[in-house]
Each structure stands twice: as structure tokens, then as C-alpha cells.
Structure 1
């Protein structure tokens, strides 16, 4: 992964600046990083993302909940951050206030790639955990056909529910149980993706 120097700016500057950009950028602790697609895993990554989003949208049809994919920003205000999750669900009416970003997710899903897996499991999860509205955080590994689901319990502790040995995944936050086969439908087995040489996602 190429170490591209991130831009420095405030959250307010970032929001105004990014509206004029042609590519997506995430903001974390005063630094701006460009979000690049992963070469090699694009088909698997996009297919798994679409499968999850479609399952959620179908299940939530007719409810106040909305499913968003990677083009919608998510604000993690307490962590001074804005991210682009692969999929997230919000059922909070306050999220209707902003057309460009949401702030009160109930469920977040990230589809892993080799260059971002550490970031998704580390700093990004740490920022997400500070979101009071968040009930579940899910990591989908399209290379290994596995899912790690973290659920916040009644004491505020995050408990891991891995898919190993299971045929289904329960998304308790939205009352949905789906098969692993449904999540990985049309995802072709293959080697893990290689990151683009210009990928500047922060390595944490």
C-alpha cells in the first residue's frame, strides 16, 4: 500500500471540500484519506456488498429503517470522523435532517479487503463503538466466505459471534436471519484481493 500523505483540515472544511471532489474521502482525526476501490477483489467485494444491502432492503421494506451503501457518508461525531461504510442501516428519524451524511446507525457492515482489514477491525471499529445508536458491527470476508458479527450486549460490551460452523447469520438489530449462502451468492471463490498501488486508506 502506498503511503500517500493525507490532507489536514477541520471537519467543517472537509465537508465543504469533499462536496466538490470527484472521488470519495474519509475523515479521521483531522486527516483526510482518499477511498480507493480494491483491484482484484472488486467483483467479490461489490457482489457481497450488494447481496447484503439487498437482503436488508427487502426485509426492511415498509418500515422506518433505511439501508445505505458505500456512497453515503456516516458521521462518527465523538471520534471526529466521517466514513463510507459498505452497508449501514438507520432507523432514526433524526437522520432525515441531512441529505449528505447520517449519524445514527443501528447496524454497520464492512466487506474486508487485505489492505483495509486491520483498519476495519481496529481504529474504525473503535470509532464505531462510540456511536450510541449502534447495536451491531459486521465484518464480511468474501475471500474466506466468513462473517464476524459483533453485538453490543445489555452492559455495553461488544460480543463476537463468528460464522464458523454456522449456516446462518442473525442480525438481531433488525430482526433478520439470513443464510451464509445468501450473503455470498454469486461470489466466486478465489484468492484475497490485492490493494491498488495508489490505495491511501490509513493502515492501522
Structure 2
């Protein structure tokens, strides 16, 4: 005799957005590979890096008519089972009515031990599928190290790994962000 395990069907973006519509703002829900996932609250170190990065990006984004947003969701019309929430998103254009965008220019994730494999795996794949995205940052929280994934107008991505004395080049925002600014107030 054999047993078959029944797996719940994969949730789609429209259903996911309906399910989380009335959830409290402090709950950070993501849809990853068709599964709704509630992220645990991040540590203060993580949040300080996120805040430092968003503040460093803000003047560059504002000069281009955009803004830097913390904990903002992303959608892709071509991928219907994934709606991740990035640590930092830079986007331009009019304000959106909800908490998800389809048009980021820069996306950043600050690595946490619990999300390391997702940030480098499924989320990275998703982010790099977004047509408007030009830069994806993976920021280490334990050492001054930033992976800068970037692309021009073509489909190919390039990787640079930068350290404390470097600056993140952001040509689409017309400037750069010193990596030391991300770690301000954080012992390394």
C-alpha cells in the first residue's frame, strides 16, 4: 500500500494580496513560491543598517523624483507565485495605492542568518527578473561587505563585491553611497 501526501495548492498573487489586506501593518508577509510566509521581526542591527541605507539613498532618489522605501513589496506580472518584501526599495513615479510596486530601480536586502538562502536564491532570481531594476544590493550585517549586482540596459548582470572604504556606484540615481555610511553606529 502506498500513501500520497496531498500538498496545498500554490497561492497566487491576487489571492495572497486579498488574504493580507486586513493584516496589521507590523506583520511582514511575503509570498515565496506560492507560500505565504510571515517574517519574524528583524534584529536591531539589521534595522539600523536598513535605516542607514534608506537614508543614504533618499537624497539621490529624491533628486530623480523618487524615494527610498523600507520594507516595501514587489510584484512582477510575469511571476504569479511570488511577492517578496525587500528591505529597501528605490522607485520613482506617482505614489502607489498599496504596498507593492512593479517598477523598482534599486532593491536591497540586508542578510540575516534566517533569510540568507532566500535573499541569495529565490528573491535574487525574482528581483533580477524585474525589467526596471538596475541594481540589487546584498548587504552583510556582520562585516562591511556589499555585493552589488548591476546591469545596464541589457539583460546581463554583473557582480562587484565592495568593502568599507568603497562606495556603491548608482549611475541610474546619478551618484554613489559610501559603504561606511551603511555601518554608521554599528560595531564591526
TM-score (norm 2): 0.85
Unaligned runs of 5+ in 1: 190-204
Which position in structure 2 is the counterpart of 1:140? 139
Which position in structure 1 is the counterpart of 2:15? 13
Flag the 1:157–1:30 CA change in 2: closer, same or farther, 3 A. same
Flag the 1:56–1:158 CA change in 2: closer, same or farther, 3 A. same
| Residue 34 of structure 1 pairs with residue 38 of structure 2 | yes
Which position in structure 1 is the counterpart of 2:61? 60
Q: CA deviation at 1:56?
A: 1.2
Q: Check conservation: 1:6, 1:33, Cα contact below 8 A.
A: no
State which structure, 1 or 2, has the greater radius of gyration over its C-alpha atoms: 2
Which position in structure 2 is the counterpart of 1:119? 118
Flag the 1:14–1:171 CA change in 2: closer, same or farther, 3 A. same
Flag the 1:8–1:34 CA change in 2: closer, same or farther, 3 A. farther
Secondary structure (helix, strand or coil) at the match of 1:82 reads: coil
Unaligned runs of 5+ in 2: 1-6
Q: Check conservation: 1:65, 1:91, Cα contact below 8 A.
A: yes
| Residue 106 of structure 1 pairs with residue 108 of structure 2 | no
Q: Check conservation: 1:7, 1:32, Cα contact below 8 A.
A: no
Q: Check conservation: 1:18, 1:24, Cα contact below 8 A.
A: no
Q: CA deviation at 1:7?
A: 8.7
CA distance in 1, matches of 2:74, 2:8: 19
Secondary structure (helix, strand or coil) at the match of 2:181 reads: helix
Which position in structure 2 is the counterpart of 1:192? none
Q: CA deviation at 1:177?
A: 1.4
Equivalent pairs, count: 179
Within 5 A, what are the aligned runs for 1:34-183? 34-38=38-42, 42-70=43-71, 72-80=72-80, 81-93=82-94, 96-164=95-163, 166-183=165-182
Flag the 1:164–1:54 CA change in 2: closer, same or farther, 3 A. closer
Q: CA deviation at 1:100?
A: 2.7
CA distance in 2, matches of 1:186, 1:148: 21
Q: CA deviation at 1:119?
A: 1.0
Q: CA deviation at 1:60?
A: 2.9
> With CA pairs under 8 Å and 6+ residues apart, which has the higher RCO, 1 or 2?
1
